[in-house]
Chain A
Amino acid sequence: MAGQVFAYIRHHDGKAEDSALELVNAAKKIAGGAAVTAIVAGSGIDSLCAEMAASYKDVWKLDNSALAYPNAEVIRKALVNILPANAVVLVPHDTFGMDLSPGLSIKMGSPFVADIVDVEADGDVLKIVRQEYSGQAHTHVECNMSAGAVINVRPGVFQPDESKSAGGSVTDKSAAVGDLTCGRKYLEVVAAEAGDVDITKSDVLVSIGRGIEEEDNIPIAQELADAMGAVVSCSRPIVDAKWLEKARQVGTSGQTVKPKVYMAMGISGSFQHLGGIKGNPFIVAVNKNPKAPIFQVADVGVEANILEFMPSLTEAIKAL
Protein backbone atom coordinates (compact mmCIF):
# COMPACT_ATOMS: atom_id res chain seq x y z
CA MET A 1 0.00 0.00 0.00
CA ALA A 2 1.31 3.38 -0.97
CA GLY A 3 2.42 5.82 1.62
CA GLN A 4 0.92 9.07 2.74
CA VAL A 5 0.33 11.63 -0.01
CA PHE A 6 1.74 15.13 0.43
CA ALA A 7 1.26 18.31 -1.55
CA TYR A 8 3.89 20.99 -1.44
CA ILE A 9 2.32 24.45 -1.16
CA ARG A 10 3.98 27.24 -3.12
CA HIS A 11 3.32 30.69 -1.78
CA HIS A 12 4.46 34.21 -2.28
CA ASP A 13 3.93 37.27 -0.07
CA GLY A 14 1.67 35.29 2.25
CA LYS A 15 -0.58 34.11 -0.58
CA ALA A 16 -0.75 30.62 -1.96
CA GLU A 17 0.02 30.13 -5.62
CA ASP A 18 -2.73 28.77 -7.86
CA SER A 19 -0.94 25.44 -7.85
CA ALA A 20 -1.68 25.00 -4.13
CA LEU A 21 -5.33 24.22 -4.76
CA GLU A 22 -4.71 22.42 -8.05
CA LEU A 23 -2.65 19.83 -6.19
CA VAL A 24 -5.72 18.95 -4.13
CA ASN A 25 -7.36 17.44 -7.18
CA ALA A 26 -4.16 15.92 -8.52
CA ALA A 27 -3.50 14.30 -5.15
CA LYS A 28 -7.03 12.92 -4.94
CA LYS A 29 -6.43 10.94 -8.11
CA ILE A 30 -3.44 9.29 -6.44
CA ALA A 31 -4.60 8.99 -2.87
CA GLY A 32 -8.06 7.75 -3.67
CA GLY A 33 -9.99 8.26 -0.47
CA ALA A 34 -6.97 8.68 1.77
CA ALA A 35 -6.22 12.02 3.36
CA VAL A 36 -3.73 14.35 1.69
CA THR A 37 -1.32 16.42 3.71
CA ALA A 38 -0.26 19.89 2.67
CA ILE A 39 3.25 21.04 3.49
CA VAL A 40 3.65 24.74 4.07
CA ALA A 41 7.23 25.82 4.59
CA GLY A 42 8.22 29.39 5.31
CA SER A 43 8.36 31.97 8.01
CA GLY A 44 5.28 33.58 9.58
CA ILE A 45 2.84 31.33 7.77
CA ASP A 46 0.07 30.73 10.29
CA SER A 47 -2.74 32.34 8.32
CA LEU A 48 -1.64 30.57 5.16
CA CYS A 49 -1.66 27.23 6.99
CA ALA A 50 -5.15 27.95 8.27
CA GLU A 51 -6.28 28.79 4.76
CA MET A 52 -4.82 25.53 3.44
CA ALA A 53 -6.65 23.58 6.13
CA ALA A 54 -9.86 24.40 4.26
CA SER A 55 -8.65 22.29 1.36
CA TYR A 56 -6.37 19.72 2.97
CA LYS A 57 -7.22 17.36 5.81
CA ASP A 58 -3.87 17.91 7.41
CA VAL A 59 -1.44 20.78 7.06
CA TRP A 60 2.15 20.44 8.18
CA LYS A 61 3.63 23.73 9.12
CA LEU A 62 7.39 24.18 8.82
CA ASP A 63 8.01 27.62 10.25
CA ASN A 64 11.64 28.61 10.37
CA SER A 65 13.41 31.88 9.54
CA ALA A 66 15.81 29.83 7.38
CA LEU A 67 12.83 28.91 5.22
CA ALA A 68 11.66 32.48 4.69
CA TYR A 69 12.80 32.32 1.08
CA PRO A 70 12.10 29.02 -0.69
CA ASN A 71 15.68 27.94 -1.33
CA ALA A 72 15.12 24.47 -2.78
CA GLU A 73 18.32 23.11 -1.29
CA VAL A 74 17.29 24.16 2.22
CA ILE A 75 13.74 22.98 1.81
CA ARG A 76 14.92 19.63 0.51
CA LYS A 77 16.86 19.09 3.72
CA ALA A 78 13.83 19.97 5.80
CA LEU A 79 11.57 17.65 3.81
CA VAL A 80 13.97 14.72 4.03
CA ASN A 81 14.01 15.18 7.78
CA ILE A 82 10.26 15.28 8.27
CA LEU A 83 8.78 13.05 5.55
CA PRO A 84 8.14 9.36 6.03
CA ALA A 85 10.31 7.22 3.77
CA ASN A 86 7.41 6.06 1.59
CA ALA A 87 5.85 9.49 1.17
CA VAL A 88 4.27 10.31 -2.17
CA VAL A 89 5.09 13.98 -2.68
CA LEU A 90 3.39 16.21 -5.21
CA VAL A 91 5.16 19.40 -6.17
CA PRO A 92 4.16 21.94 -8.81
CA HIS A 93 6.43 21.76 -11.82
CA ASP A 94 7.44 25.39 -11.65
CA THR A 95 10.87 26.97 -11.26
CA PHE A 96 10.94 25.87 -7.63
CA GLY A 97 9.67 22.36 -8.25
CA MET A 98 12.23 21.87 -11.02
CA ASP A 99 14.88 22.96 -8.55
CA LEU A 100 13.70 20.79 -5.67
CA SER A 101 12.24 17.54 -6.84
CA PRO A 102 14.95 15.65 -8.75
CA GLY A 103 17.31 15.88 -5.77
CA LEU A 104 14.52 15.18 -3.29
CA SER A 105 13.66 11.94 -5.08
CA ILE A 106 17.27 10.79 -4.79
CA LYS A 107 17.41 11.61 -1.11
CA MET A 108 14.06 9.93 -0.48
CA GLY A 109 15.14 6.94 -2.56
CA SER A 110 11.93 7.15 -4.55
CA PRO A 111 11.12 7.44 -8.25
CA PHE A 112 10.58 10.85 -9.80
CA VAL A 113 8.27 11.83 -12.62
CA ALA A 114 8.42 15.38 -13.89
CA ASP A 115 5.82 17.62 -15.41
CA ILE A 116 2.85 15.28 -15.43
CA VAL A 117 -0.36 16.39 -17.14
CA ASP A 118 -2.53 13.53 -15.93
CA VAL A 119 -2.34 10.64 -13.51
CA GLU A 120 -4.28 7.61 -12.32
CA ALA A 121 -3.44 5.19 -9.56
CA ASP A 122 -3.83 1.50 -10.29
CA GLY A 123 -3.05 0.00 -6.91
CA ASP A 124 0.53 0.97 -6.23
CA VAL A 125 1.20 1.73 -9.87
CA LEU A 126 0.94 5.30 -11.01
CA LYS A 127 -0.15 5.66 -14.62
CA ILE A 128 1.01 9.02 -15.75
CA VAL A 129 0.59 11.12 -18.87
CA ARG A 130 3.46 13.35 -19.93
CA GLN A 131 4.52 15.27 -22.98
CA GLU A 132 7.82 15.18 -24.83
CA TYR A 133 9.42 17.08 -27.69
CA SER A 134 7.93 20.42 -26.67
CA GLY A 135 4.46 18.93 -26.58
CA GLN A 136 4.73 17.28 -29.99
CA ALA A 137 4.38 13.76 -28.54
CA HIS A 138 2.47 12.39 -25.54
CA THR A 139 3.65 9.48 -23.44
CA HIS A 140 2.24 7.08 -20.89
CA VAL A 141 4.68 6.52 -18.05
CA GLU A 142 4.41 4.11 -15.15
CA CYS A 143 6.08 3.90 -11.81
CA ASN A 144 5.52 2.02 -8.59
CA MET A 145 4.85 4.25 -5.61
CA SER A 146 4.91 1.66 -2.87
CA ALA A 147 8.26 2.97 -1.68
CA GLY A 148 7.14 6.54 -2.19
CA ALA A 149 7.41 8.87 -5.16
CA VAL A 150 8.07 12.46 -6.06
CA ILE A 151 5.72 13.76 -8.73
CA ASN A 152 5.95 17.18 -10.34
CA VAL A 153 2.55 18.34 -11.56
CA ARG A 154 2.24 20.80 -14.43
CA PRO A 155 0.57 23.94 -13.14
CA GLY A 156 -2.76 24.79 -14.68
CA VAL A 157 -3.84 21.32 -15.82
CA PHE A 158 -5.81 20.26 -12.76
CA GLN A 159 -8.84 22.21 -11.61
CA PRO A 160 -8.28 24.03 -8.31
CA ASP A 161 -10.20 22.86 -5.28
CA GLU A 162 -13.13 25.15 -4.89
CA SER A 163 -15.17 23.26 -2.32
CA LYS A 164 -12.76 24.12 0.50
CA SER A 165 -14.59 21.55 2.57
CA ALA A 166 -11.69 19.57 4.02
CA GLY A 167 -11.97 21.09 7.46
CA GLY A 168 -8.42 20.09 8.19
CA SER A 169 -6.08 20.91 10.97
CA VAL A 170 -2.56 22.32 11.19
CA THR A 171 0.28 20.29 12.67
CA ASP A 172 3.42 22.17 13.58
CA LYS A 173 6.41 20.18 12.39
CA SER A 174 8.80 23.09 12.69
CA ALA A 175 10.87 21.45 15.37
CA ALA A 176 11.64 18.46 13.16
CA VAL A 177 13.27 20.26 10.27
CA GLY A 178 16.76 19.59 11.65
CA ASP A 179 20.01 21.04 10.35
CA LEU A 180 19.33 23.34 7.40
CA THR A 181 22.83 24.46 6.48
CA CYS A 182 23.71 23.90 2.86
CA GLY A 183 26.12 24.97 0.15
CA ARG A 184 23.74 27.32 -1.61
CA LYS A 185 22.89 30.65 -0.09
CA TYR A 186 20.00 32.76 -1.35
CA LEU A 187 21.02 36.37 -1.83
CA GLU A 188 18.24 38.36 -3.45
CA VAL A 189 15.69 38.55 -6.23
CA VAL A 190 16.50 40.97 -8.99
CA ALA A 191 13.22 42.20 -10.44
CA ALA A 192 12.75 42.15 -14.19
CA GLU A 193 13.11 45.52 -15.79
CA ALA A 194 9.76 47.21 -16.07
CA GLY A 195 8.72 47.97 -19.62
CA ASP A 196 6.72 50.86 -21.04
CA VAL A 197 3.53 48.89 -20.85
CA ASP A 198 1.95 46.68 -18.25
CA ILE A 199 0.49 43.72 -20.09
CA THR A 200 -0.94 42.39 -16.83
CA LYS A 201 -3.41 45.27 -16.68
CA SER A 202 -4.83 44.90 -20.17
CA ASP A 203 -8.19 43.24 -20.86
CA VAL A 204 -7.28 42.39 -24.41
CA LEU A 205 -3.90 41.11 -25.53
CA VAL A 206 -2.67 40.57 -29.06
CA SER A 207 0.10 38.10 -28.37
CA ILE A 208 2.62 37.13 -31.00
CA GLY A 209 4.93 34.15 -31.34
CA ARG A 210 7.34 32.72 -33.87
CA GLY A 211 4.73 33.12 -36.60
CA ILE A 212 5.55 36.81 -36.80
CA GLU A 213 8.74 35.61 -38.55
CA GLU A 214 10.73 38.80 -38.32
CA GLU A 215 11.11 41.93 -36.31
CA ASP A 216 9.91 44.14 -39.11
CA ASN A 217 6.50 42.46 -38.99
CA ILE A 218 5.77 43.53 -35.43
CA PRO A 219 3.97 46.70 -36.59
CA ILE A 220 1.38 44.42 -38.23
CA ALA A 221 0.49 43.11 -34.76
CA GLN A 222 0.64 46.57 -33.29
CA GLU A 223 -1.87 47.82 -35.84
CA LEU A 224 -4.29 45.05 -34.93
CA ALA A 225 -3.82 45.82 -31.26
CA ASP A 226 -4.42 49.51 -31.88
CA ALA A 227 -7.60 48.72 -33.79
CA MET A 228 -8.83 46.49 -30.96
CA GLY A 229 -7.74 48.80 -28.18
CA ALA A 230 -5.41 46.05 -27.04
CA VAL A 231 -1.80 45.73 -25.99
CA VAL A 232 0.84 43.63 -27.76
CA SER A 233 2.38 40.80 -25.76
CA CYS A 234 4.47 37.86 -26.91
CA SER A 235 5.96 34.45 -26.27
CA ARG A 236 9.50 33.74 -25.21
CA PRO A 237 11.22 33.40 -28.62
CA ILE A 238 10.25 36.99 -29.44
CA VAL A 239 11.99 38.23 -26.30
CA ASP A 240 14.96 35.94 -26.86
CA ALA A 241 15.34 37.51 -30.29
CA LYS A 242 15.15 40.93 -28.58
CA TRP A 243 12.29 42.02 -30.83
CA LEU A 244 10.17 43.01 -27.83
CA GLU A 245 11.11 43.78 -24.26
CA LYS A 246 10.96 41.18 -21.53
CA ALA A 247 8.06 42.98 -19.84
CA ARG A 248 5.81 41.92 -22.75
CA GLN A 249 6.49 38.21 -22.40
CA VAL A 250 3.61 35.99 -21.30
CA GLY A 251 4.59 32.75 -19.65
CA THR A 252 6.09 31.10 -16.63
CA SER A 253 9.37 32.85 -17.27
CA GLY A 254 7.57 36.08 -18.09
CA GLN A 255 4.40 37.79 -16.95
CA THR A 256 1.22 36.19 -15.70
CA VAL A 257 -1.73 37.84 -17.39
CA LYS A 258 -5.47 37.74 -16.78
CA PRO A 259 -7.08 39.32 -19.83
CA LYS A 260 -10.66 38.86 -20.98
CA VAL A 261 -9.57 38.11 -24.52
CA TYR A 262 -6.27 36.60 -25.56
CA MET A 263 -5.36 36.67 -29.24
CA ALA A 264 -2.64 34.04 -29.73
CA MET A 265 -1.13 34.99 -33.08
CA GLY A 266 1.39 32.54 -34.46
CA ILE A 267 1.94 31.05 -31.01
CA SER A 268 2.25 27.28 -30.91
CA GLY A 269 1.23 27.15 -27.26
CA SER A 270 3.92 25.60 -25.12
CA PHE A 271 2.84 24.94 -21.56
CA GLN A 272 5.38 27.45 -20.33
CA HIS A 273 3.56 30.06 -22.35
CA LEU A 274 0.07 28.90 -21.38
CA GLY A 275 1.23 28.87 -17.77
CA GLY A 276 1.27 32.64 -17.91
CA ILE A 277 -2.38 32.93 -18.94
CA LYS A 278 -4.79 32.90 -16.03
CA GLY A 279 -8.41 33.75 -15.41
CA ASN A 280 -9.82 31.62 -18.26
CA PRO A 281 -9.86 34.26 -21.00
CA PHE A 282 -11.51 33.84 -24.38
CA ILE A 283 -8.60 32.59 -26.45
CA VAL A 284 -8.46 33.13 -30.20
CA ALA A 285 -5.66 31.21 -31.89
CA VAL A 286 -4.42 31.88 -35.40
CA ASN A 287 -1.71 29.57 -36.65
CA LYS A 288 -0.78 28.12 -40.00
CA ASN A 289 -0.03 24.76 -38.44
CA PRO A 290 -3.38 23.04 -37.80
CA LYS A 291 -1.63 20.71 -35.34
CA ALA A 292 -0.35 23.52 -33.14
CA PRO A 293 -1.13 22.70 -29.49
CA ILE A 294 -2.62 26.15 -29.02
CA PHE A 295 -5.74 24.94 -30.83
CA GLN A 296 -6.33 22.49 -27.99
CA VAL A 297 -6.73 25.26 -25.45
CA ALA A 298 -8.17 28.00 -27.61
CA ASP A 299 -11.88 28.76 -27.81
CA VAL A 300 -11.75 29.75 -31.44
CA GLY A 301 -9.12 28.86 -34.00
CA VAL A 302 -8.22 30.01 -37.47
CA GLU A 303 -5.78 28.11 -39.64
CA ALA A 304 -3.99 30.93 -41.42
CA ASN A 305 -0.73 32.77 -41.80
CA ILE A 306 -0.93 35.59 -39.26
CA LEU A 307 1.00 37.89 -41.55
CA GLU A 308 -1.93 37.70 -43.95
CA PHE A 309 -4.73 37.26 -41.45
CA MET A 310 -3.91 40.06 -39.03
CA PRO A 311 -4.00 42.84 -41.67
CA SER A 312 -7.40 41.65 -42.96
CA LEU A 313 -8.75 41.52 -39.43
CA THR A 314 -7.38 44.96 -38.73
CA GLU A 315 -9.04 46.31 -41.87
CA ALA A 316 -12.33 44.67 -40.99
CA ILE A 317 -12.31 46.09 -37.48
CA LYS A 318 -11.40 49.55 -38.71
CA ALA A 319 -14.29 49.35 -41.17
CA LEU A 320 -16.82 48.84 -38.34
Chain B
Amino acid sequence: MEILVCVKRVPDTAENEITVRKDGKDIVRDDLVYSVNEWDNYAVEEAIQIVEDKGGSVTVVTVGDGDSEEVLRREMAMGADNGILLKDDAFVGSDGKGIATVLKGVVQKGKYDLILCGAQADDGAGQVGGMLAALLDVPYASLVNSVKVIDDKKLKVGREIEGGNQEMNEITLPCVLSIQTGINEPRYVGIRGIRKVASVEIPVLGASDLGLDAGAVGKAGAKVKLVDYFVPELGAGAEMLEGSTEEITEKLIELLKAKGGLK
Protein backbone atom coordinates (compact mmCIF):
# COMPACT_ATOMS: atom_id res chain seq x y z
CA MET B 1 0.00 0.00 0.00
CA GLU B 2 1.36 3.41 -0.96
CA ILE B 3 0.59 5.86 1.81
CA LEU B 4 1.01 9.63 1.92
CA VAL B 5 0.98 11.30 5.31
CA CYS B 6 0.53 15.06 5.56
CA VAL B 7 2.39 16.56 8.51
CA LYS B 8 2.92 19.99 10.00
CA ARG B 9 5.63 21.61 12.08
CA VAL B 10 4.05 23.34 15.06
CA PRO B 11 5.13 24.96 18.32
CA ASP B 12 5.04 22.22 20.89
CA THR B 13 2.29 23.23 23.32
CA ALA B 14 3.63 20.93 26.03
CA GLU B 15 7.01 22.63 26.03
CA ASN B 16 6.02 26.22 25.38
CA GLU B 17 4.07 28.96 26.97
CA ILE B 18 2.16 30.63 24.18
CA THR B 19 1.87 34.39 24.51
CA VAL B 20 0.57 36.94 22.06
CA ARG B 21 2.80 39.59 20.54
CA LYS B 22 1.95 43.16 21.51
CA ASP B 23 0.98 44.11 17.96
CA GLY B 24 -1.27 41.06 17.75
CA LYS B 25 0.23 40.00 14.42
CA ASP B 26 1.50 36.73 15.76
CA ILE B 27 2.31 34.81 18.89
CA VAL B 28 5.69 35.46 20.49
CA ARG B 29 8.02 33.12 18.66
CA ASP B 30 11.27 33.77 20.56
CA ASP B 31 12.15 30.83 22.73
CA LEU B 32 9.58 28.57 21.09
CA VAL B 33 10.48 25.00 20.33
CA TYR B 34 8.85 23.18 17.46
CA SER B 35 8.00 19.62 16.76
CA VAL B 36 5.82 17.61 14.49
CA ASN B 37 2.12 18.05 15.23
CA GLU B 38 1.21 15.33 17.72
CA TRP B 39 -1.76 14.03 15.70
CA ASP B 40 0.40 13.80 12.58
CA ASN B 41 2.95 11.75 14.47
CA TYR B 42 0.26 9.18 15.27
CA ALA B 43 -0.72 9.20 11.60
CA VAL B 44 2.84 8.46 10.51
CA GLU B 45 3.14 5.64 13.04
CA GLU B 46 -0.12 4.19 11.77
CA ALA B 47 1.11 4.37 8.18
CA ILE B 48 4.39 2.69 9.11
CA GLN B 49 2.54 -0.08 10.91
CA ILE B 50 0.29 -0.67 7.91
CA VAL B 51 3.29 -0.86 5.59
CA GLU B 52 5.19 -3.13 7.98
CA ASP B 53 2.20 -5.44 7.88
CA LYS B 54 1.07 -5.18 4.25
CA GLY B 55 4.09 -3.86 2.37
CA GLY B 56 4.34 -0.67 0.36
CA SER B 57 5.87 2.65 1.28
CA VAL B 58 5.22 5.72 3.38
CA THR B 59 5.80 9.21 2.07
CA VAL B 60 5.59 12.21 4.38
CA VAL B 61 4.80 15.63 3.00
CA THR B 62 4.57 19.06 4.51
CA VAL B 63 3.77 22.54 3.32
CA GLY B 64 6.16 24.94 4.93
CA ASP B 65 9.42 26.83 4.98
CA GLY B 66 12.97 25.51 5.11
CA ASP B 67 12.68 24.75 8.83
CA SER B 68 9.84 22.34 8.14
CA GLU B 69 12.34 19.93 6.66
CA GLU B 70 13.30 18.92 10.20
CA VAL B 71 9.89 17.36 10.86
CA LEU B 72 10.11 15.43 7.61
CA ARG B 73 13.47 14.05 8.69
CA ARG B 74 12.10 13.14 12.10
CA GLU B 75 9.25 11.20 10.51
CA MET B 76 11.67 9.57 8.08
CA ALA B 77 13.86 8.57 11.01
CA MET B 78 10.72 6.99 12.42
CA GLY B 79 10.39 4.86 9.33
CA ALA B 80 8.80 6.86 6.53
CA ASP B 81 10.50 6.02 3.25
CA ASN B 82 10.29 9.35 1.46
CA GLY B 83 9.81 12.98 2.28
CA ILE B 84 8.55 15.84 0.15
CA LEU B 85 8.78 19.49 1.12
CA LEU B 86 6.26 21.80 -0.53
CA LYS B 87 7.81 25.21 -0.35
CA ASP B 88 6.99 28.31 -2.31
CA ASP B 89 6.52 31.96 -1.41
CA ALA B 90 3.16 31.60 -3.12
CA PHE B 91 2.04 29.16 -0.43
CA VAL B 92 2.62 31.59 2.45
CA GLY B 93 -0.58 32.75 4.09
CA SER B 94 -2.72 29.92 2.78
CA ASP B 95 -5.98 29.17 4.52
CA GLY B 96 -7.14 25.59 5.03
CA LYS B 97 -8.36 25.30 1.49
CA GLY B 98 -5.08 26.69 0.18
CA ILE B 99 -3.10 24.04 2.01
CA ALA B 100 -5.51 21.35 0.80
CA THR B 101 -5.09 22.61 -2.75
CA VAL B 102 -1.31 22.43 -2.53
CA LEU B 103 -1.55 18.92 -1.11
CA LYS B 104 -3.93 17.91 -3.85
CA GLY B 105 -1.20 18.89 -6.29
CA VAL B 106 1.32 16.57 -4.69
CA VAL B 107 -1.18 13.72 -4.38
CA GLN B 108 -1.87 13.91 -8.07
CA LYS B 109 1.83 13.74 -8.89
CA GLY B 110 2.07 10.36 -7.18
CA LYS B 111 -0.05 7.28 -6.90
CA TYR B 112 -1.28 6.82 -3.36
CA ASP B 113 -3.78 4.30 -2.04
CA LEU B 114 -4.21 6.03 1.27
CA ILE B 115 -3.69 9.56 2.51
CA LEU B 116 -3.45 10.22 6.24
CA CYS B 117 -3.59 13.51 8.11
CA GLY B 118 -3.67 14.35 11.79
CA ALA B 119 -7.17 15.09 13.09
CA GLN B 120 -6.09 18.64 13.90
CA ALA B 121 -3.03 20.79 14.43
CA ASP B 122 -2.06 23.93 16.32
CA ASP B 123 -4.89 26.05 14.94
CA GLY B 124 -7.44 23.49 16.10
CA ALA B 125 -9.46 23.66 12.88
CA GLY B 126 -9.15 20.05 11.76
CA GLN B 127 -10.02 21.00 8.21
CA VAL B 128 -7.28 20.04 5.77
CA GLY B 129 -8.01 16.30 5.60
CA GLY B 130 -11.70 16.72 4.81
CA MET B 131 -10.99 19.45 2.27
CA LEU B 132 -8.31 17.41 0.56
CA ALA B 133 -10.64 14.42 0.27
CA ALA B 134 -13.37 16.59 -1.22
CA LEU B 135 -10.93 18.19 -3.67
CA LEU B 136 -9.76 14.72 -4.71
CA ASP B 137 -13.30 13.39 -4.70
CA VAL B 138 -12.39 10.42 -2.54
CA PRO B 139 -14.07 9.19 0.65
CA TYR B 140 -13.07 10.69 3.97
CA ALA B 141 -13.31 9.76 7.63
CA SER B 142 -12.20 11.97 10.49
CA LEU B 143 -11.09 11.26 14.06
CA VAL B 144 -10.02 7.77 13.10
CA ASN B 145 -8.85 5.68 16.04
CA SER B 146 -8.51 2.30 14.37
CA VAL B 147 -7.60 1.14 10.89
CA LYS B 148 -7.83 -2.39 9.62
CA VAL B 149 -6.94 -3.29 6.06
CA ILE B 150 -9.62 -5.58 4.64
CA ASP B 151 -8.10 -5.94 1.18
CA ASP B 152 -6.45 -3.67 -1.36
CA LYS B 153 -9.79 -2.02 -2.05
CA LYS B 154 -11.25 -1.49 1.42
CA LEU B 155 -10.45 -0.53 4.97
CA LYS B 156 -12.42 -0.88 8.14
CA VAL B 157 -11.97 2.25 10.19
CA GLY B 158 -13.18 3.24 13.63
CA ARG B 159 -14.02 6.87 14.43
CA GLU B 160 -13.97 8.29 17.92
CA ILE B 161 -17.38 9.79 18.59
CA GLU B 162 -19.15 11.27 21.62
CA GLY B 163 -19.39 9.31 24.82
CA GLY B 164 -16.22 7.37 24.19
CA ASN B 165 -18.04 5.24 21.63
CA GLN B 166 -16.52 4.09 18.39
CA GLU B 167 -18.24 4.35 15.02
CA MET B 168 -17.18 1.62 12.61
CA ASN B 169 -17.13 2.26 8.87
CA GLU B 170 -16.06 0.49 5.76
CA ILE B 171 -14.29 2.84 3.39
CA THR B 172 -13.06 2.27 -0.15
CA LEU B 173 -9.56 3.10 -1.29
CA PRO B 174 -8.16 5.49 -2.21
CA CYS B 175 -9.36 7.64 0.66
CA VAL B 176 -8.28 10.25 3.17
CA LEU B 177 -8.34 9.62 6.90
CA SER B 178 -7.63 12.04 9.69
CA ILE B 179 -6.06 10.27 12.63
CA GLN B 180 -6.92 10.78 16.28
CA THR B 181 -4.31 10.51 19.05
CA GLY B 182 -4.21 7.26 20.98
CA ILE B 183 -4.68 5.09 17.87
CA ASN B 184 -1.24 3.57 18.47
CA GLU B 185 1.93 4.10 20.46
CA PRO B 186 4.29 6.06 18.25
CA ARG B 187 7.83 4.81 18.31
CA TYR B 188 10.65 6.90 19.71
CA VAL B 189 12.87 8.86 17.41
CA GLY B 190 16.26 9.61 18.83
CA ILE B 191 18.90 12.00 17.65
CA ARG B 192 20.76 9.09 16.12
CA GLY B 193 17.79 8.18 13.96
CA ILE B 194 17.54 11.73 12.68
CA ARG B 195 21.24 11.86 11.90
CA LYS B 196 20.97 8.67 9.92
CA VAL B 197 18.59 10.36 7.51
CA ALA B 198 20.32 13.73 7.70
CA SER B 199 21.80 13.43 4.25
CA VAL B 200 18.82 11.86 2.50
CA GLU B 201 17.73 14.07 -0.37
CA ILE B 202 14.30 15.60 0.22
CA PRO B 203 12.74 16.96 -2.95
CA VAL B 204 11.36 20.49 -2.71
CA LEU B 205 8.38 21.28 -4.90
CA GLY B 206 6.88 24.68 -5.61
CA ALA B 207 3.66 25.92 -7.19
CA SER B 208 4.89 25.45 -10.76
CA ASP B 209 6.11 21.91 -10.01
CA LEU B 210 2.63 21.08 -8.83
CA GLY B 211 0.95 22.84 -11.71
CA LEU B 212 -0.75 25.28 -9.36
CA ASP B 213 -1.94 28.74 -10.13
CA ALA B 214 -0.17 30.88 -7.55
CA GLY B 215 -3.32 32.98 -7.20
CA ALA B 216 -5.35 30.00 -6.02
CA VAL B 217 -3.21 29.42 -2.95
CA GLY B 218 -1.38 31.48 -0.36
CA LYS B 219 -2.55 34.84 0.81
CA ALA B 220 -4.00 35.62 -2.60
CA GLY B 221 -6.29 32.62 -2.58
CA ALA B 222 -7.26 32.71 1.06
CA LYS B 223 -10.90 33.45 1.70
CA VAL B 224 -10.45 33.09 5.43
CA LYS B 225 -8.11 35.69 6.84
CA LEU B 226 -6.52 35.81 10.23
CA VAL B 227 -6.83 39.39 11.46
CA ASP B 228 -4.95 39.23 14.73
CA TYR B 229 -4.13 37.34 17.87
CA PHE B 230 -5.39 38.76 21.11
CA VAL B 231 -5.75 38.15 24.78
CA PRO B 232 -9.44 38.14 25.64
CA GLU B 233 -10.79 40.56 28.21
CA LEU B 234 -10.88 38.56 31.35
CA GLY B 235 -14.61 38.53 31.84
CA ALA B 236 -16.47 37.23 34.82
CA GLY B 237 -14.00 34.51 35.62
CA ALA B 238 -13.84 32.51 38.78
CA GLU B 239 -13.88 34.23 42.13
CA MET B 240 -10.34 33.48 43.26
CA LEU B 241 -10.08 32.42 46.86
CA GLU B 242 -7.05 33.87 48.58
CA GLY B 243 -5.39 33.67 51.93
CA SER B 244 -3.86 30.88 53.94
CA THR B 245 -4.73 27.30 53.10
CA GLU B 246 -6.92 27.18 56.22
CA GLU B 247 -8.82 30.29 55.21
CA ILE B 248 -9.29 29.02 51.68
CA THR B 249 -10.51 25.59 52.70
CA GLU B 250 -12.86 27.12 55.26
CA LYS B 251 -14.37 29.44 52.66
CA LEU B 252 -14.57 26.67 50.11
CA ILE B 253 -16.30 24.30 52.48
CA GLU B 254 -18.96 26.94 53.18
CA LEU B 255 -19.54 27.36 49.47
CA LEU B 256 -19.63 23.62 48.88
CA LYS B 257 -22.17 23.19 51.66
CA ALA B 258 -24.36 25.85 50.10
CA LYS B 259 -24.17 24.27 46.67
CA GLY B 260 -24.82 20.73 47.81
CA GLY B 261 -21.25 19.57 47.35
CA LEU B 262 -20.96 18.10 50.82
CA LYS B 263 -23.08 15.40 52.29
Map CB proximity to A onto B17-40 as digits: 1 under 8 Å, 0 otherwise: 111100000010000000000000
**A255 contact set on B, CB distance < 8 A:** 163-164
**B142 contact set on A, CB distance < 8 A:** 72, 95, 98-99
Stretch from B65-73, B78-86, B255-263 forming part of the interface with A? B255-263
A102 near B124: Cβ-Cβ < 8 Å: no
B125 near A95: Cβ-Cβ < 8 Å: no
Main secondary structure of the interface of B (DSSP, over half): mixed
Interface residues of B in 1-50 (CB under 8 A from A): 11, 13, 17-20, 27
A228 near B130: Cβ-Cβ < 8 Å: no
A254 near B164: Cβ-Cβ < 8 Å: yes
15 pairs, A vs B, C-beta closer than 8 Å: A73-B141, A102-B129, A106-B130, A113-B125, A114-B126, A132-B124, A133-B122, A143-B223, A189-B166, A190-B166, A192-B164, A246-B164, A261-B256, A282-B259, A316-B249
Stretch from B187-195, B209-217, B240-248 forming part of the interface with A? B240-248
| B133 nearest CB neighbor, chain A only | A103
**B134 contact set on A, CB distance < 8 A:** 76, 102-107
Main secondary structure of the interface of A (DSSP, over half): mixed
Q: How many residue pairs at the A-B interface have CB separations less than 8 Å?
A: 258
A182: which of B129, B139, B231 is its contact (CB, 8 Å)? B139
Least distance between A247 CB and chain B CB atoms (Å):
7
| A252 nearest CB neighbor, chain B only | B162
In the bound assembly, the distance between CA atoms of A9 and B143 in angstroms comes to 20
A47 within 8 A of B: no
B256 near A284: Cβ-Cβ < 8 Å: yes
In the bound assembly, the distance between CA atoms of A115 and B120 in angstroms comes to 11
**A303 contact set on B, CB distance < 8 A:** 240
Least distance between A20 CB and chain B CB atoms (Å):
14
Map CB proximity to A onto B224-249 as digits: 1 under 8 Å, 0 otherwise: 11111111101101111100011011
B87 within 8 A of A: no
A299 near B172: Cβ-Cβ < 8 Å: no
In the bound assembly, the distance between CA atoms of A283 and B236 in angstroms comes to 13
**B52 contact set on A, CB distance < 8 A:** none
Map CB proximity to A onto B132-155 as digits: 1 under 8 Å, 0 otherwise: 011100111111000000000000
Most chain-A CB neighbours within 10 Å: which of B126, B245, B248, B261? B261
B97 within 8 A of A: yes
- Residues A191 and B27 in contact in the complex (CB < 8 Å), given A112-B131, A139-B226, A299-B239: no
Q: Nearest 8 pairs between A and B by C-beta?
A: A102-B130, A301-B238, A183-B139, A261-B261, A192-B164, A106-B134, A103-B134, A229-B263
Residues on B close to A: CB < 8 A?
Answer: 11, 13, 17-20, 27, 95-97, 100, 119, 122-131, 133-135, 138-143, 156, 158-172, 175, 181-182, 223-232, 234-235, 237-241, 245-246, 248-250, 252-253, 255-256, 259-263
Least distance between B214 CB and chain A CB atoms (Å):
19
B224 near A260: Cβ-Cβ < 8 Å: no
B162 near A132: Cβ-Cβ < 8 Å: no
Map CB proximity to B onto A285-320 as digits: 1 under 8 Å, 0 otherwise: 100001000111111111110001100110011001
B230 near A140: Cβ-Cβ < 8 Å: yes
A176 within 8 A of B: no
